[in-house]
Amino acid sequence: MPLELGILNRRRFFAGIAGVGASWLGQRALSAAEAIKAPSGTWALVSDTHIPSKLGERHRGACMAENVERVVSEILSRDAGTGGVIVGGDCARLYGHADDYRNFAGLIEPLVHGRREVHLLMGNHDNRNVFSRTCATAFPDHEGPSGRRTAFLPSEHLNWFLLDSLEEGSPVAGRLGRDQLDWLAAALDRHPDKPAVVMAHHHLKIRDEKGRVFQPMSALRDSSELHEVMKSRRQVKAYLYGHTHRWEIGRTREGIHLVNLPSSAYVFDSSQPVGWVEATAREDGLELEFRSLHSLHPSHRERHRLKWR
């Protein structure tokens, strides 16, 4: 990331958070237990942080704020996320309160200090209007079609297309809407020559290559429309999402990789881990390393190499 961009990001960040004092700037310095250097230009993928308005709040045995502190600390200690940090939605605890976002901004502020460009998606537990009033201008992504937050992020080996699947009034399921699908199709058509990775908060309601459909009631309502846009464009190689609080990798029948990013906060299935994912783009694919917050979890440091179709 160019130096100037980092400085701009920091200035914008501090100017863009409404009603925040300096109290949250004093973050605890956590020990870097596994300070192994990551390859340069990696992306740090974090999801479902569920930061509450009371920092000490716990849910399902986890302190969400403490977990994010640990993730942020590890990203910095590994020198990861220098390509960018993407938070896959459900940044807020349940309803997207202003204090949730102020706390969220405070917790990720060391990343901005560390010259990381931070992008975030909206999930079903976010509130787009409250986020916009509280700290949207602190983040680089601009308003997309129909007031949604979309982003096109070009990088050396791939282009990211970030989508906003938060549907107001829907507590769990999501929807992109025709305008956003058209925006994606046009944006993909303008960039046919580089591998594309599409990302939104919700999982797809489609059969994967094993014939499975995961929890269709809580999925993206216009999954088949998104699937149509993606499968007909060969440059689309992967779809990344959060929402289910699971770490899982699958594929569509057309060979589009489906990457379910884990939650950094808590899980619904006790066999699942909490953590984050470090992604390194290559010319012919994407390398993923899962970083569990519990180093004894069997999937900690699990690596996958996604080869492009």
Q: Where on the chain is the footprint of Fe ion (CB under 5 A)?
A: 48, 90
CB of 261 to Fe ion, least distance (A): 11
* 48 close to 264: Cβ distance less than 8 angstroms: yes
Read off the tokens for 116: 């990381």
Distance CA 195, CA 240 (A): 14
Read off the tokens for 207: 């059969």
Using only the alpha carbons of the chain, give its radius of gyration: 18
User: Strand locations in the chain, DSSP E?
Assistant: 43-46, 58-59, 62-63, 84-87, 118-120, 151-154, 159-162, 196-199, 236-241, 248-251, 257-260, 275-282, 285-292, 303-307
Q: How far is CA 167 from CA 42, 69, 163, 180, in A?
A: 31, 29, 12, 12
The residue (of 117 and 167) whose beta carbon lies closer to Fe ion is 167
CB of 125 to Fe ion, least distance (A): 6
The residue (of 116 and 125) whose beta carbon lies closer to Fe ion is 125
CB of 262 to Fe ion, least distance (A): 11
DSSP 8-state secondary structure symbol assigned to residue 244: S
CB of 158 to Fe ion, least distance (A): 25
The residue (of 90 and 100) whose beta carbon lies closer to Fe ion is 90
CB of 213 to Fe ion, least distance (A): 19
Q: Which residue type occupies 45?
A: L
Read off the tokens for 244: 């289910």
The residue (of 78 and 93) whose beta carbon lies closer to Fe ion is 93
CB of 112 to Fe ion, least distance (A): 23
The residue (of 76 and 277) whose beta carbon lies closer to Fe ion is 277
Element (H, E) at 239: strand 236-241
Read off the tokens for 85: 């940090």
How buried is 194 (Cβ within 10 angstroms: 0-12 exposed, 13-18 middle, 19+ buried)? middle
The residue (of 90 and 278) whose beta carbon lies closer to Fe ion is 90
Distance CA 201, CA 87 (A): 9
CB of 51 to Fe ion, least distance (A): 11
Torsion of CA 115, 121, 122, 124, to 10 degrees: -120
The residue (of 48 and 278) whose beta carbon lies closer to Fe ion is 48
Distance CA 308, CA 209 (A): 15
The residue (of 87 and 188) whose beta carbon lies closer to Fe ion is 87
Q: What residues form DSSP beta bridges with 263?
A: none
CB of 47 to Fe ion, least distance (A): 8
Distance CA 252, CA 224 (A): 12
